[in-house]
Homo-oligomer: A and B are copies of this chain.
Amino acid sequence: MSLSRFLDLADFTRSEVEDLIGLANHLQSHPEPSALQGKILGLVFLNPSLRTLASFQAGMARLGGTSFVITPGQGTWGLETRLGVRMDGSAAEHIREGLPVLASFCDALAIRAFADGKDLAADCADTTFKAMAALVDKPFINLESAINHPCQALADWKTLNDLSIAPRSKFVLSWAPHPRALPLAVPAAALHMAALRGHDVVVARPDGFALPAAIMARARVAAAQSGGSVTETTDRTDAMQGAQILYAKEWGCTSAYGDAAVDAALRATLGDWQVTAETFVGATADCRLMHCLPVRRNVAVADEVLDGPRSVVLQEAHNRLVVQMAVLHRLLA
């Protein structure tokens, strides 16, 4: 399998995903410290990061390559993404110059650009990110866009493999509380990953927080191909019956997308969606908690769960490094 872009796990078949994870496993047992010697990865962060920032630098180094980090607005000019605009505001540089220039300095470029959170259709279509990707004529990696986070999804898939979680087992993607609206990228990516892996996926979320219909529809197609299913409910207790995985994630109100007041009013009443020990009543004895991190302790998930045996959040995070090395290897070796 050749690879020139890593934008969306949905671009891959189930066997292609397993192939990538196979390479990740191989690189774990058979390190290749010179595979990317002389190769340079450019990392552009329009939004904060911890795992992605550290693991991509570490991954390049473990394969013998190097990287540089650009953080627009922090030591680097602010970047304008809108086309045709008169640039008389704070952004000093347009992506039409900035991204091709950065790409010309390195062998692969990777970009993080979160959702604007104002226009649901534009965010679901990943309009801005796709415009950025179109400006880059080098291998390209999505470090989280408006509606996608393929590195997280690939790491989660590997984590499920590592834990020997059966594909047809019940996977509950549950909305979780947070002080404010967060993007749809991780829930959309996790949903698709679980569907493509063949799970019986239940999306548990309050009224007002349904995932967009296009996201659900695409996941249902993937589930059908893999022998799984995708349903949704507002009753998390019911969803958790027989669950093997609880994938907790915070996201913003979709019924009035981008309306902070409506979002705040809705979430003010939803604190009991926090994941606690009690949330697992009716689940399998070894039902696991997954979360992409960062997680707000005792808001989204209680200490008792994060510090207990159900939590596999650290394994997921470590797998970010492991699977991204496979992606980098495919793109650059």
| A residues with CB within 8 A of B | 31, 33, 37-38, 40, 42, 45, 48-51, 53-55, 57-58, 61-62, 66, 68-72, 74-77, 80, 84-88, 92-94, 96-98, 100-102, 104-106, 179, 293-299, 303, 306-307, 313-314, 317-318, 321
Q: CB-CB < 8 A to A71: which residues of B?
A: 75
* Structural contact, A49 and B62, CB atoms closer than 8 A: no
| Residue of A38, A97, A321 with highest tally of chain B CB at under 10 A | A97
Within 8 Å CB of A307, what residues of B? 96
Contact: B50 with A93, CB < 8 Å? yes
Name which residue of chain B comes closest to A58, CB basis: B105
Q: Return chain B residues, CB-CB under 8 Å to A77.
A: 48-50, 294
Q: Which residues of the other chain, B, contact A296 by a CB distance below 8 angstroms?
A: 87-88, 92
With A and B bound together, what is the CA distance between A85 and B318 in angstroms?
25
Residues of B within 8 A of A87 (CB): 296-299
B101 pairs with A314, CB closer than 8 A: yes
Cβ-closest chain B residue relative to A321? B105
Chain B contacts of A31 at CB under 8 A?
A: 38
Among A72, A105, A295, A321, the most chain B Cβ lie within 10 Å of the Cβ of A105
Q: Contacts A68-B57, A74-B75 known; A101 to B293 CB distance under 8 Å?
A: yes
A94: chain B residues at CB < 8 Å are 294-295, 297
Q: How far is the CA of A54 from the CA of B62 in the complex (A)?
A: 21
Are A54 and B102 CB-contacts (below 8 A) given A48-B76, A294-B92, A295-B97?
Answer: yes
Evaluate contact between A314 and B100: CB separation under 8 angstroms. Answer: yes
Tell me the minimal C-beta distance from A70 to chain B in angstroms. Answer: 6
CA distance A317 to B92 in the complex (A): 16
Interface SS of A by simple majority: mixed
**Chain B: minimal CB distance from A328 (Å):** 14
Instruction: Give the number of times this chain occurs in the complex, counting copies.
Output: 3
Is the beta-carbon distance between A75 and B49 smaller than 8 angstroms? yes
Lowest 6 A-B CB distances belong to which pairs? A93-B294, A87-B296, A57-B68, A104-B318, A101-B317, A61-B66
CB nearest neighbor in B for A61: B66
The 9 listed contacts between A and B (C-beta, < 8 Å) are A40-B61, A48-B75, A49-B75, A53-B75, A92-B294, A97-B294, A97-B295, A104-B314, A104-B321
Contacts of A72 in B (CB 8 A): 50
What is the distance, in angstroms, from A48's C-beta to the closest C-beta of chain B? 5
* Known contacts A54-B102, A70-B53, A76-B53: A297-B42 contact under CB 8 Å: no
Kindly report which residue of chain B lies nearest to residue A86, judged by CB atoms: B298
Q: Choose from B57, B97, B303 the contact partner of A84 (Cβ within 8 Å).
A: B303
Q: Which residues of B contact A53 (CB under 8 A)?
A: 68, 70, 75-76
Please judge, given known A-B contacts A93-B294, A294-B77, whether A179 and B68 are in contact too, CB under 8 Å: no
Which chain B residue shows the least CB distance to A98?
A: B50
Please indicate the chain B residues that have their CB under 8 angstroms from the CB of A48 in the complex: 75-77, 92
Closest CB of chain B to A54's CB: distance in Å? 5
- Chain B's nearest CB lies how many Å from the CB of A95? 10
Q: Which B residues lie within 8 Å of A49 (CB)?
A: 75-77
A303 to B102 alpha-carbon distance, docked (Å)? 20
- Tell me the complex Cα distance, A235–B321, Å: 57
